[in-house]
Amino acid sequence: MVEEEIYSYHAEMCKVFSHPKRLELINVLRDREVSAGELCQILKMSPSNLSQHLAMMRDRRILVSRKEGNVVIYWVTNHRLLRAIDRLR
């Protein structure tokens, strides 16, 4: 990776840290898989607001999802990000 690309990648990852709800979302998903409906309840967020955060994090390959019938399940794939968040605490 060229140095400029590395800086761009780091800036994109830092955007994830810039919203408290995204940090809370990552923390909920740190150790388990959770459905979108459960995430709305746990985080007290509307489905549309949650969807925006989830899309941003999926685009950056922090989260992945799978469908089970009508239910979408999410989990964290970027465990280096979890270590970075732990260091910020």
pLDDT tens profile 64-82: 999 999 999 999 998 888 8
Q: State if pTM tops 0.75.
A: yes
52 touches 40 (CB < 8 A): no
For 37-46, which contacts have Cβ atoms below 8 Å and span 24 or more sequence positions? Answer: 37/71, 39/74, 45/21
* CATH number of the domain residue 51 falls in: 1.10.10.10
51 touches 5 (CB < 8 A): no
DSSP H helices, the chain, are: 3-17, 20-29, 36-43, 47-59, 79-88
Q: Domain total for the chain?
A: 1
The residue segments making up the domain with residue 34 are 3-88
* pLDDT in the model for residue 1: 64
